[in-house]
Structure formats: C-alpha cells, structure tokens
Chain A
Amino acid sequence: MVLTRTFMQLRPIITALRRHKVATLLIVLQVALTLAVASNALLIVATRIVHLSRPTSTDEAHLFVIRNGWKLGQNAAQINANIAADLDTLRHVAGVRDAFSSQGFPLAGYSANIIARLKLEPDQKTHAQLITFYAADEHAIDTLGLTLVSGRNFRPDEIAAIGPSDKMSPPGIIVTRSLADKLFPDGSALGKTVYLPDGPTAIFGIIASLQGPLKNSGAVDGYTALVPARYLDPAGIEYLVRTDSTAMKPVIAATLKALQERSDARIIDQKQDVVTMAQVRKHAYASDHSVAMLMSIVCGLLLLATAGGIVGLSSFWVGQRRRQIGIRRSLGATSGDILRYFHAENFLIVSGGVALGALLAFLANLGLMQLYELPRIPLYAPLLGALVLWLLGQLAVWGPARSAARVPPVVAIRTE
C-alpha cells in the first residue's frame, strides 16, 4: 500500500526534477563520483588489510630478535664456539623459554641468503620451486611456537656449521604443509627426497605453517623451510628468543647483560639491534598501514561530504517548495505523503548516481590497476557502496523531509 502510493508519486517527482535539472545533475554527479572513489579506496583498504594481517604463524607476543654483529678478526671456529656458548647463555636467562640462531626472521625483509630453489629431480628442467628458508636447530620449532604436524624435529648432531661460501647440503629439512602439498599434491611429502642447489635432502618433518622473511612475497608466501644449519657469517647472526611472559623488557635487558658478560666479541646497538616481533610487524607493514588509514579517512570524509551536500540541497528545495507543499497539503495530502515524496525523490536521484558511479568505479579501477598492484574490483564492491549511498541519502534527506512534512496547509494561501 505504502509502496504503491510511493510509486504513484514517481511521475510528479520526475516532472518536478525536470525543473531543477542542474541541481539534480549535481547530486547525481556527486553520488557517482563518491561511489567511484569510495569503492576503489575501500578495495585498496581491503587488499592492504588482507596483506598486513597475514599471520607469521609464530608466537609473536613472546618473540624478540637480537641482531648480533661480530667484531672483526674472528675465524669460523671462534664464531661457531661463540654462537654455541651464546645460545647456551640465552637459554639459561630467567624468563627465556627457548632460543635459536638464524640468518633471518619473519618479516625481516629481503636479504641475499634466504631464497633457494627446490627441485624434485636432480636434473629437473622445468621451473624449480622458489622457497624461503631459515637456518634452524632443534630448538627452532619450540622458539617460534610452531606446530609439527608430522615427521620429526632435527637432532643436535644434524646441525651443520656453514660459512659464507660453504655449500648447504643438510641431511633433511622441515617444510610447511603448503610447501609439502605444493611439491607432492598427493600428500606423500614426508620422507621424500628433494634437491637443493647443492644436493639432495630428505623431508624430515612438516609444520603447519610459517611465513618466510619476505613481506611482499606473493610467489613464495608460506613456502618456507627450516634448514639445520648454523650460519658463521663474519658480519653477524640473529638470535631469536621466546620469553615466558609478554612483559619482555626485563627479559631483553637480562639477555643483553648476560651476553655482554659472557663475551665482548660482539657489537649490539641496544637501540637498533634488539626488536620485538611486534615492532618488526609494525615496521614491516608501516606503508600498508598508512595507505589503509589514509584511504579509510578519506572515505569517511567523502561520505560525510556527500551527506552534507544532500542535506544542504534538500533543505533548499524544501524551502523553495513551501507553497507547493502547502497546496498539496490543503488538497488533502497527509504529512506522511510529503515525507514519502522527498524520500522517494532522493532514492531516485541516488539511484541515478549509483548507476553512473558503478560505471565510473570500474573505469577508475582499470586505470588504477595500471598504476598500482590492485586486483580487479569485485562486483559486490559497488553494490555494497550503492547500498551505503542509498542509506546515506535516505538518512540525509530525513531532516529536510520532516521539516517539509511539518509545513501547514495554510502556507498555500498566505502571501509572504
């Protein structure tokens, strides 16, 4: 009943709008532009949020990293002994649950020795699987807080010391489930032999998941391996430490003190070289975070601006049509009829804007895809945007429409 009455009014609405071509066009244009910009901006926000909320699958709340540089003049054997003694010291600091040494850590960013290619056959001609890896020992799984789903952990005697130009040929590696399934889709990865650039190795174990050191790593995301190795890089090494509680500050201070007391063969800048995983995450995704924030703020402002515009123009129309409304009222229209009239009018105008805006949104998306790594806009994005704009329009017109509905019939005969 209400609906039919509303539709009955469509013809007079269109006739009335024809007399305000420019003002109508302006709202249509504004709604269209808002839809085009907002849906693309929200798409950017969504992709960035998806990107920055990928889990590292580690126990981030309890993890911190020490970048330990070595003073010059130490040979490989000395560095090896230092790492072993350091790890022993670290694991005995009160509040430390476990620790291990590696050449990288999740979200650390690109460095030279974290990427490898895995082959299924020694003389495989087809494209080798790109992976990222961490040097690890038998404490790595516990330190990172990973779940071993099948197979076994490394044994202490399997951890090889590797100098900067030594070959990496471990007896076995531990891989993530996604890498295992990628290499052996039938699920038979455990125990199989795969080929690193320097030789064959077996799959000892499979962990549920673990993110590699790269943060923008579409191609290798989750294809991560643990390699039983201790890196004797004369430049330095990274210690990953897992604490018992989330209050890490005292534990960090205690570990640094313990390390310094054990030996001063190291260079650690207390400000820069000690980072918690939370800091690492914040730093790694700073730019994604900033883009997402910016876009959200602009979207919010945009919607507010559009709402403001609708309120402004609608109030003006209501003011202009006071006589007209008065005449309709004195001819028997209820205040509900007047209210519905303005809501229906607004719906009509916004619909026009939405139709044009959806088109613009797709065009803008095509342009943006050339400039930035942006996915194609999904169909539901402009639909969702349209829904928001319809709601926004109805909400914005509510105030002016109410004041219109309050216009008394007597206005029709009063001369101003």
Chain B
Amino acid sequence: MWGYYVTLALRSSARSKALTALVIVLLAFGVSACMVSYAVFRATTSDPLPGKSSQLYVPLVDNVGPSYNNQGEPIETLSYIDAVALWQAHQANRQTLIYSTTWQVESGNSLVPAMSLGGDAVTTDFFPMFDVPFRYGGGWTADDDARHATVAVISRHLNEVLFGGQNSVGHEIRLDNQLFRIDGVLEDWNPRPRYFDAGSHGTVYAFNDAGDIYIPFARATDMKKDSTFAYCPTASRQSDTSHWDAYLHSECDRIDAWVELDTPADADRFREYLRNYAAEQQRLGRFSWAPNIRLRNLTDWLAFLDVTPAASTLSMLVSASFLLIVLVNVVGLMLARFMRRAPEIGVRRALGASRAAIYRQFLIEAATMGFVGGLLGVALTLLGVWGAGGLFEPNIARLVQADSSLVTLTVLLAMAATVVSALYPTWRAAQTQPAWQIKIG
C-alpha cells in the first residue's frame, strides 16, 4: 500500500510541477536555515565535559562586598587568600586552582626563536579533573605542587614546534629564563568553550584556543607571575604588582577555582563549608557583610556566564521564525494542491476508499515531499555549514561541522514539518463529498 501511495504522490507531483517544486524548495530553505543555525548553536552550547559537568563546581566567595561586587553577585574569580585557604582545607575529592598567564619560551632548539606563549598555572588535579588527554608522560604529582617544583606540561603544538613531535618528557625548556622539566605532552586538547578559566577570561575570550604551557600554581606564584586578568576593588580597578606580597594578599580577584563533588549531598556539604568560611572571615573582621557565596556546577556556570554568543542564539531564533513562516506557506500550498484533486478523491471515495485511506494517502504524499525537500535541505545545509566561515566569526565558524546526526535530523525535520503542515489540508481533503465531485464531473 505504501509503495502505491508513493507512486500516486509522484504522479500527482508530475501533474503540478511548479507547485510541487515551490513546496520542496521552500521546505529545503526553511529546514536548512534551521539546521545551519542549529549546527552553530550546538557547537557553542554543547556540554564541554559530558558525564562530568554536574560534578565539577566553581566555588565563589564575595570578598569585595556590595560596593564592588556585580550587583550582589560575587566576582567570578577568587582572591589568592581565599583560593589558597579553600585549597588547603581540602574539602573536596579533587580541587584545582588556575590562573592564566604568558611565558617567554626558549628551548635548546636554536632554530626556534624565543616565543611569547599563553598557558595556565594550575595544581595537579587539573589534569584528571578535566579529563585532559596526554600524548606522552602525564601531570606532575601532589608532591611537586608542595615542593613548588619546576615541572611543566606542554601542548602537542608546542611539542611539534620545539621537539618535532618526539617524546620530549624529561627534556628541559626555559620559561621566563628558568629551566623546567617536561613531565607531560598533551594530545590535541581544545575544550569549547574554554570553560576552565572562563571566570577570569570572561565571555569575550570563551572561544579562544587553550594555552600551550601548564606549570605548578605555587611555582608561578613564586616567580611573581601575574594573571592575565585581575579585578581589584580599588577606584581604578587596576592591579598594582610593584609590591608583590602586598598584591598577593590583597583583595584582587584573579584565581579560577574548581572542586569535584560526586553527589549532591557532597555539594551541600561543601556549600555549608563555604558559608562557614565566609562567616569566619566576617567574624575576623575581613568581610563587613554577611556570607555571600556561590557554588555552581559546570553546566550552571556556563549558563550563568552566558558564554553562548549572541549571534548564535539570534540566528537560531530567526531561522526558527523563518521555518514557521515557511510552514504557514506550505499549509496554503498543500491546501491548494489537495483541493485541486477533489475530483480524484471523489472517485476514490465512490469506489470504496475509506476516509482513513484518504488520510493515509495524503499524509504519505506529504511525507514523500518532505523527504525530497529534506534531501535538498541536506545539500543546502552542507553548503551552509561550508559557508559558515564567511558568516560567523572564525573562532566560532570552525566549530561548526556537519555529521550524520545533522543529516538525519535535517531529513526528519523536513518530513515532520511537511506532515504537520499537511494535517489540515488532508482533513479538508478527507471531507470531500464523493457525490458532489462526481456530479460536477
């Protein structure tokens, strides 16, 4: 029966070529506009750490008070004092402190000129917490953290540049004129968004590449390396690093901290600990305000920071409206198409076809057209994804890719959309009175 209805659909399409073509082209454009936007949207909002995003939390403590905080929200990073206090309290299974900075890099390789490269000062749990993949070696030990060791983990890219991609574990590189032993080389690792230090970077840099160099947090602090970003509760909001110790123990917020908490109960316990910590600081006279703390998991954190670029949500919104308008259009065209065939329906009904059969026939016809529209839509979507480079910013455009799920979704959306918009026309077609049609004929 299916095959027969599809044949009927194709035959009737051949009779009204222009109308059929119009419906299919409209559908294809509407669906592909949606899918290209969806591909971008998916790329910018996808979970960067599936399976773990509900167990990694960002703790925040308001250390600047109502006159300097973000309308009641704590600043998105911790001060050095609070970060180190949290780290030493060790209230979570794993925890890491992060700040981003830049290094002057030199190696024994005289062919490579000195470079200035970005990276992060982190603590050892950084690597297992964020599932950072290693090509050679691994992260340093907790003992290295405690000894402020001169060890480093470098990116695959830097390893290519300096060591031609060979296993460089055990080799040394010079960072800001200090020798560091390479403990590990990463695989290509470029989380999107760059969530791990998004708190200090802010949304503008959320889709930048990850850095090339990771060294122990304590060592970087010993070297008086300032963070790329800092927020100081002073009139100028600027940091004064001329007196390093005073700066370190100032209320400047600059450290991204993460804790790994397996269960919601653990999170509640940690939240309680944070509140007690802030209350203690208030008792000590450091804070003149009631405890103002936050503990958000990765998913909520990215939502709070609102890292999704406006262009991405806006294009989703607009292309969805476009599809809606196309569907209204298709309803009209389908109505025209089906009503034109009233005589045919009359004959079929008179020959004993039930209403249900008419429903089946016309919905299958719609689905067939949707399928063809979907195929054309796939072509247009691929074209759009390919052309996304010209439409979106480079660092977002290169995230966008077509895969089998996108292709399947395109066809399914096209078919579903056509069937939905054919419901009313089909109902009208099924209402056709056989007697009327035959009499006129």
Question: What residues make up the interface of A, taking CB atoms closer than 8 Å to B?
Answer: 22-23, 26-27, 29-30, 33-34, 36-37, 41, 44, 69, 71-73, 109-110, 112-113, 164-165, 197, 235-236, 267, 269, 286-287, 290-291, 293-295, 297-298, 301-302, 305-306, 308-309, 311-313, 315-316, 319-320, 371-372
Contact = CB atoms under 8 A, between A and B. Distances in A.
Interface in B321-336: 321-322, 324-326, 328-329, 331-333, 335-336
A26 B390 CA distance: 35
Contacts of A71: 104, 114
Contacts of B240: 165
B333 A298 contact: no
B104 A72 contact: yes
B391 interface: yes
B176 interface: yes
B398 interface: no
A372 to B, nearest CB: 6
Contacts of A320: 339-340
Contacts of A305: 26, 29-30, 322, 325-326, 329
A260 to B, nearest CB: 10
Interface in B118-151: none
Contacts of A235: 102
Given A26-B332, A72-B176, A294 B318 contact: yes
B383 interface: no
Contact of B325 (A33, A295, A315, A371): A33
B309 A287 contact: yes
B179 interface: no
Contact of B336 (A23, A295, A297): A23
Nearest to A299: B318
A89 B336 CA distance: 76
Given A22-B428, A23-B335, 13 more contacts: A34-B325, A37-B318, A112-B239, A164-B241, A197-B236, A298-B33, A301-B33, A306-B329, A308-B26, A309-B329, A309-B333, A316-B333, A320-B340
B331 A26 contact: yes
A26 B328 contact: yes
29 contacts: A22-B424, A23-B335, A23-B336, A26-B329, A26-B332, A37-B318, A37-B325, A72-B176, A112-B237, A113-B238, A164-B242, A269-B115, A269-B116, A291-B311, A293-B390, A294-B314, A298-B33, A301-B322, A306-B325, A306-B329, A309-B329, A309-B333, A312-B18, A312-B332, A315-B18, A316-B333, A316-B336, A316-B337, A320-B339
Nearest to B30: A305
A34 to B, nearest CB: 6
Contacts of B325: 30, 33-34, 37, 302, 305-306
B310 interface: yes
B319 A312 contact: no
Contact of B391 (A23, A109, A110, A293): A293
Given A69-B116, A72-B104, A313 B333 contact: yes
B19 interface: yes
Interface string B296-314: 0000000000000111011
A29 B318 contact: no
B235 interface: yes
B43 to A, nearest CB: 14
Contact of A312 (B104, B311, B313, B336): B336
Nearest to B332: A26
